[in-house]
Structure 1
Amino acid sequence: MKILRPSMVKAIEELKNEVVKMADLVLNNISESFKAFKTNNLPLAYELVNLDIEVDRLEEDISKKALRFIWKEQPYASDLRMVTGILKLITDLERIGDHARDIAEQTLHIGNIKNERILTNTTLMSESAYQMVLNAINAFVKQDLAMAKQVITDDDIVDNQFNQIMKSITEQIKNDTIEPEYAVSVIMVAKYMERIADHAVNLAEWTKFIITGEHKTTPLF
């Protein structure tokens, strides 16, 4: 039976806790960035653009700790999968953070446009994408394979919501009931949310890898 060294157990737990800390910040940024867009809250949007710097810092810190762990502890099998998976997870978390910043920047870009911001389909899509990221992180924390697989399936919901938004915006442009610049921003925000959902799928895939040693259908360990 394999017995982990106390230093290895502690280091792995610290890495997992750092990932959760980074995920909490990213989840906050997703939620608040869309809130800023809906309410045209420019101060909040500025704050979120600056908060992305902290997401980048956390990614760098975790990467260094993970690489130091591999070098120092020389882990095998499931422990190496965990650390390798974490290195992949934080890359996707950082990119999700980038898209939250992108949404905030769209708010700043159209801050002078007074169109009604609350679009039902867009709000539903933001909630779905947020939930996918949250569930993906919970799957990682709990090492829950079924939950990870459900996140991957849920991506179809977000894709369908994106298509509905595109259809709605197209109709509004045809009927001249939406300002073109605002329409473009809504499309961009929807696209960023679609990409957030895609990265949530990646988070779930890397959790599957940590648990099973397979990434998608390819055995890696």
Structure 2
Amino acid sequence: MSALRASLLKAIEELKSEVVTMADLVLNNINEAFLAFKTNNLIKAEALMKADDVVDQYEEDISKSALRVMWKEQPYAQDLRVVTGILKLVTDLERIGDHAADIAEQTIHIGDLKNQRLLPITTMMSEAAYQMVLNAINAFVKQNLELAKKVISDDDVVDQLFNDVMKSVTDQIKNETIDSQYAVSVIMVAKYMERVADHAVNLAEWTIFMITGEHKSTPLF
């Protein structure tokens, strides 16, 4: 192996390591945001809103590192796909981090309302969305094509749970058994969960691109 090739591989592994560190933080934030919502933990929610700045900084730093690798190491073929894919991955990770902050914000907005927060459905939805993100990251780390495809197929589960939340809230509004402010916040939180799952799909699609060179059935390079 040439010194040039060894330098490129080392740079790519360092990039991957930075992505994993960022992903761990995002996974923690989204899990804690779901927990804060379900348990009405306003202190935790406030802390999570502040923690989003760290995620934003990771995105900026990793993007700069990836661009330096492209300029300095001049990767091609699969190596170029990996670096390009990482640039896209960190954007979706940052947006998942944003949604963790969004959920925390809605938790604070609801405040001390003591509704049950539709726990059976929102719990299943948050767990499914979280697992999709976790599987998407593992697919990236292991470059596992089948796991990436599973993430994409699992999105249907989250979509159905979102529909279930909407139906439940709508029924409660009709029956006047739910506070209107609370109903809006629950719908918003469910929507953020759905978007987290959508970004997990994006993560999986970029991993597929790294492995196969194809993205959304369109050959690239």
Q: What TM-score do you get using the length of structure 2 for normalisation?
A: 0.97
User: Does 1:211 pair with 2:200?
Assistant: no
Q: What CA distance in whole angstroms lies between the structure 2 residues aligned with 1:118 and 1:106?
A: 15
Task: Give the drift of 1:5.
Answer: 2.3
Q: Spell out, residue by residue over 1:166-205, the C-alpha distance to the aligned partner (whole angstroms, 9 max, x if none).
A: 0011111111111111111110000000000000000000
Instruction: Give matches, 1:54-133, under 5 Å.
Output: 54-117=54-117, 119-133=119-133
Q: What CA distance in whole angstroms lies between the structure 1 residues aligned with 2:179 and 2:109?
A: 14
Aligned partner of residue 112 in structure 2, secondary structure: coil
Q: Which residue of 2 aligns with 1:200?
A: 200
Aligned partner of residue 115 in structure 1, secondary structure: coil
Provide the aligned length of Structure 1 versus Structure 2. 221
Q: Which residue of 1 aligns with 2:34?
A: 34
Q: What CA distance in whole angstroms lies between the structure 1 residues aligned with 2:57 and 2:67?
A: 16
Q: Which residue of 2 aligns with 1:140?
A: 140
CA contact (8 A) 1:40 1:117 kept: no
Task: Give the drift of 1:2.
Answer: 8.3
Q: What CA distance in whole angstroms lies between the structure 1 residues aligned with 2:74 and 2:11?
A: 12
Aligned partner of residue 116 in structure 1, secondary structure: coil
The structure-2 alpha-carbon separation of the partners of 1:3 and 1:212, relative to structure 1 and needing over 3 Å to count, comes to farther
Task: Give the drift of 1:162.
Answer: 0.4
CA contact (8 A) 1:52 1:97 kept: yes
Gaps of 5+ in 2: none
Aligned partner of residue 167 in structure 1, secondary structure: helix
Task: Give the drift of 1:44.
Answer: 0.3
Instruction: Give matches, 1:145-164, under 5 Å.
Output: 145-164=145-164
Q: What TM-score do you get using the length of structure 1 for normalisation?
A: 0.97
Aligned partner of residue 190 in structure 1, secondary structure: helix
Task: Give the drift of 1:116.
Answer: 2.2
Aligned-residue identity in percent: 74
Q: What CA distance in whole angstroms lies between the structure 2 residues aligned with 1:4 and 1:78?
A: 16
Task: Give the drift of 1:114.
Answer: 2.0
Q: Which residue of 1 aligns with 2:173?
A: 173
Q: Which residue of 1 aligns with 2:5?
A: 5
Q: What CA distance in whole angstroms lies between the structure 2 residues aligned with 1:190 and 1:59?
A: 25
CA contact (8 A) 1:42 1:108 kept: yes
Q: Spell out, residue by residue over 1:38-95, the C-alpha distance to the aligned partner (whole angstroms, 9 max, x if none).
A: 1111110011001100000000000000000000000110110000000000000000
